[in-house]
Amino acid sequence: MRVARLETLVLIAAGLLSTGVGAQTVYKCGNTYSQLPCPDATVINADQRTREQKAQADQATARDARAATAMENARLQQEKADLAANTPKAPAKAASASKPRKSELKKKKKKDADTLVARSPATKKAATAKPAGKASSPS
């Protein structure tokens, strides 16, 4: 977390320092343009805007940024309202839901609450076989 903050601060500082270099001097050397002067170079102003035009552009940029922020806040408020309106409420208990039906009770007894019992094959055979000593006796 601390490294991410440091990286963010470095990027912000680099961005601030690079904005001051916006208008560099451009030199025309024959048919080529360069940032470095050459013999018989002609200095060319790369930014043809006047100070008034630059101020107007800066004002338009600031106005657009304020409008974008206002639109984002309005969108977030609308999303929050939509989420609150579309969130389902807890269903009310019905009178019939409180009493289980007889058929449901029988099914629950038969299923034995989804329990699993492991038995070996020998145990299964012994449980299903009839005891030999207890044959039907005459009464």
Structural domains of the chain, count = 1
The answer to whether residue 76 is domain-embedded is yes
The answer to whether residue 91 is domain-embedded is no
Rounded CA separation 42/38 (Å) = 9
**Residue-by-residue pLDDT tens, the chain, 139 positions:** 566 777 887 777 777 666 554 567 888 888 888 888 888 888 887 777 888 998 999 999 999 999 999 999 999 999 999 998 888 877 765 555 556 566 666 665 555 556 667 777 776 555 555 555 555 555 4
The model's pTM is 0.35
The answer to whether residue 123 is domain-embedded is no
Range of the domain at 29: 24-84
Rounded CA separation 82/76 (Å) = 10
The answer to whether residue 31 is domain-embedded is yes
The answer to whether residue 68 is domain-embedded is yes
Whether residue 102 contacts residue 110, with contact meaning beta carbons closer than 8 Å, is answered with no
Element (H, E) at 18: helix 2-19
Q: What is the structure's pLDDT at 134?
A: 53
Whether residue 23 contacts residue 44, with contact meaning beta carbons closer than 8 Å, is answered with no
Whether residue 33 contacts residue 44, with contact meaning beta carbons closer than 8 Å, is answered with yes
The answer to whether residue 117 is domain-embedded is no
Rounded CA separation 132/121 (Å) = 20
Q: What is the structure's pLDDT at 48?
A: 78
The answer to whether residue 110 is domain-embedded is no
Rounded CA separation 96/128 (Å) = 41
The answer to whether residue 50 is domain-embedded is yes
